[in-house]
Amino acid sequence: MYQYDEYDQAMVDARVAEFADQVRRRLAGEITEDQFKPLRLMNGLYLQLHAYMLRVAVPYGTLSSRQMRMLAHIARKYDRDYGHFTTRQNLQYNWIKLEDAPAILADLASVEMHAIQTSGNCIRNISSDQWASAAADEITDPRPWAELLRQWSSFHPEFSYLPRKFKIAVIAAEEDRAAMRLHDIGIQIVEKDGQHGAAVYVGGGMGRTPMIAPLIKDFVPLEDLLSYLEACLRVYNRYGRRDNIYKARIKILIHELGADEYRRQVEEEFVHVKSLGIDPPRAEFDRIAALFAPPALDVSAPDEIDRGDPDFAVWVDSQVAAHKVPGHAIVNISLKPVGGIPGDASSAQIDLMADLAETYSHDELRVTHAQNIVLPHVRKADLYAIWQQLDAAGLATPNLDLISDIIACPGLDYCSLANARSIPVAQKIATRFADLDRQKELGELKLKISGCINACGHHHAGHIGILGVDRKGTENYQLLLGGSGAEDVSLGTITGPGFDEDGVVDAIERVTDKYLAERTEGERFVDTFRRVGMAPFKEAIYG
């Protein structure tokens, strides 16, 4: 794992001290809320429905056991004994007191964590593949690249006040587990003539105007990457709309300019930027990459799994993925118990996952954009012991990528921007489809719920998506079908008029029944939808 050097630590410590003084001045009345608000947002501190909310950055979703334990400690000491893992691979606390914020940030800094750039019109936390360094299908670990971008983008003076927030994802596998093309910049590490470089997609995003990022450059050599990205951001910073928040994201600029013209301007800017010498020497990248060296795994570890316990076998089939090293596996921990709150974990559960990572997964965990947790490097021989402990803690729900593995934003239960509640809908759907055999019969079905048009719940990218809206003061839910955030990326289409909370659950059942009636051998839900189109589903829903 990456470890802070003296510069990283000094930067974070300085920010903690600076924010502590800003909080003191606010509480003393030396600055107004109008003056303080942008300062607290720069430190991830929002004012939400019930209290202050602190969003903690988890760079590329990677955590050590020590960091995970600190998250549990903060939840226990300063919040209400739980945390919420988000679709940005971060963690949010919902009940933070302003007067406690400096101490919390100091605690985070003590384990090389912070909340910097988790809000504001800047480059946000870099997201990545939760199976990085363990997946059999990756060509390299994408996280050294993501870390390079983290260092480049942290406190970048030119990009601290962009027209709008800016999100970057980095992957290095054909299978896209990070919704890469739905980011402002999506980077796929690819190989060409024996060299690794970046395929750069720009202008994706969800929100009120969802767009899939077009490919802007098919291969950017590592030694040009920061200059190229700097050029991408500079063109956006220069021409992005600052007069209209709804047209301020880079996707709108590229849509209006056209990808070809945007590319031309980036190339022109790149020639200038490259002359500035901002790209680090190869040795610096190698220094970073060395910190991500994979753990020494025993290739002779036994490859067999004793499936004698049937409940364990069900969990293995659902939650355990192939590791690139024989005798090892990737464990996906579901934070989606039936009837639970997607992404929430208690302090005790967070501590347990930290303990399991320390004992069985070389001290490492990952947060997924689907609001689950991963133990990336586990011996197959240890799976049973891990499952037993997860099961005892309510963390062994075997539903990865099934209909109850729902992404849901906090919605109107917590979020001041939301128009409708997301969590109760997720709970009702999960309860309706609680029968595991029924879920497995439906197969891979990614269901995603947002409580407003900002799409934090990725509803555009759900095989089935739900968007909560406010219709004359009443919650109403629009249904979308056919989206995907994976390598087969697509945007969902609205079925028609919306539903109330129970109505949308009924509608989903009619959709899944129709899928079972229409599908051919081996077809996932989204495959069937793409083959037969909206009409039969619409007929099933509305008659």
Partner 1 sequence: MKLLTGNDLKTGFVTWWTGADWSLHIEDAADVGDNGEAIAAVEEGARRVNAPYVIAGEATPDGPRPAHIKDRIRALGPTVRPDLTLKPADPNAGDWVI
Cα–Cα distance for residue pair 243/260, rounded to 1 Å: 24
Q: Which is nearer to partner 1, 19 or 414 (CB)?
A: 414
Q: Which is nearer to partner 1, 29 or 157 (CB)?
A: 29
Q: Does 98 bind partner 1 (CB under 8 A)?
A: yes
Strand-pair partners of 408: 449
Quote the least distance from Cβ 79 to partner 1, whole Å. Answer: 10
Q: Does 326 bind partner 1 (CB under 8 A)?
A: no
Q: How many positions of this chain bind partner 1 (CB under 8 A)?
A: 30
DSSP H or E stretch at residue 274:
helix 259-274
Quote the least distance from Cβ 47 to partner 1, whole Å. Answer: 6
Q: Which is nearer to partner 1, 45 or 403 (CB)?
A: 45
3-state SS class at 131? coil
Q: Does 20 bind partner 1 (CB under 8 A)?
A: no
Cα–Cα distance for residue pair 151/123, rounded to 1 Å: 11
- For 181-241, the three-class secondary structure string (H helix, E strand, C coil) is HHCCEEEEEEEECCEEEEEEEECCECCCCCECCCEEEEEEEHHHHHHHHHHHHHHHHHHCC
Q: Where are the beta strands (DSSP E) in 222-346?
A: 320-322, 328-333, 344-346
- Binding to partner 1 by CB under 8 A, coded x per residue (else -) over 340-379, reads -x--------------------------------------
> What are the angstrom distances between the C-alpha of 460 and each of 94, 160, 185, 475, 497?
25, 28, 18, 19, 16
DSSP H or E stretch at residue 55:
strand 52-56
Q: Does 413 bind partner 1 (CB under 8 A)?
A: yes
Quote the least distance from Cβ 425 to partner 1, whole Å. Answer: 10
Cα–Cα distance for residue pair 40/155, rounded to 1 Å: 15
Quote the least distance from Cβ 423 to partner 1, whole Å. Answer: 5
- Binding to partner 1 by CB under 8 A, coded x per residue (else -) over 172-201, reads ------------------------------
- Binding to partner 1 by CB under 8 A, coded x per residue (else -) over 439-478, reads -------------------------------x--xxx---
Of 427, 439, 476, 512, the residue at the interface with partner 1 (CB under 8 A) is 427
Quote the least distance from Cβ 506 to partner 1, whole Å. Answer: 18
> What are the angstrom distances between the C-alpha of 467 and each of 33, 429, 504, 509?
32, 14, 10, 17
Cα–Cα distance for residue pair 521/383, rounded to 1 Å: 32
Quote the least distance from Cβ 472 to partner 1, whole Å. Answer: 10
> Is-contact 429 479, C-beta < 8 A?
no
Contacts to partner 1 by CB under 8 A: 26-27, 29, 33, 47-52, 80, 95-99, 341, 412-414, 416, 418, 421, 423-424, 427, 470, 473-475
